[in-house]
Amino acid sequence: MSDMPRVLILCTGNSCRSHLAEGFLRSVAGDLLDVCSAGSVPAGYVHPLAVRAMAEIGIDLSGHQSKHLNEFLDLPVETVITVCGKADQVCPMFPGQVNRHHFPFDDPAHAEGNEEEQLAVFRRVRDEISAVFGAYAAGRRDALGGTSA
């Protein structure tokens, strides 16, 4: 178990947004934070277009798995970040939880059109998540007196 503060990113299905955020935050602040994700109603898979969109920016999600938030109920969680409204509404308190944030993003799993049009939505949401979680990581790094990644 890590001594780093655990950040748990929640969405409903734990197939897209939470994995995009987990992968990105881990890539920029994994030296400071233990980053995990889960869902209130896990889909049971990580969306292939999420994996593909992140691979385009050098982040590998291929080993990620869809998990239920109950897996974390007995673990110390310092910060919970919800990335969809439904997860925000059902979010329980976790042991040791100090912070809670809600950063809502569109669900790219509901994108319509052909694969390229759907991928464009995944890229847009990925880039929005990167901007928000990049700023979050920079703030955490500053608060901890760390240096840039």
Q: Which of 9, 11, 77, 109 is catalytic?
A: 11
Q: pLDDT tens for the chain, 149 residues: list them.
A: 568 999 999 999 999 999 999 999 999 999 999 999 999 999 999 999 999 999 999 999 999 999 999 999 889 999 999 998 775 566 667 767 789 899 999 999 999 999 999 999 999 999 999 999 999 999 999 987 755 54
For residue 36, indicate whether it is catalytic.
no
pTM greater than 0.85: yes
For residue 84, indicate whether it is catalytic.
yes
For residue 16, indicate whether it is catalytic.
no
36 within some domain: yes
Angle at 106 between CA 102 and CA 111, to 5 degrees: 160
Number of domains in the chain: 1
**CATH code, domain carrying 68:** 3.40.50.2300
Q: Which of 7, 84, 109, 129 is catalytic?
A: 84
Tokens of 27: 């890539």
Rounded to whole angstroms, the Cα distance separating 51 from 54 reads: 5
75 within some domain: yes
147 within some domain: no
Rounded to whole angstroms, the Cα distance separating 142 from 87 reads: 28
73 within some domain: yes
Q: Which of 33, 91, 111, 119 is catalytic?
A: 91
Domain of residue 59 covers 6-141
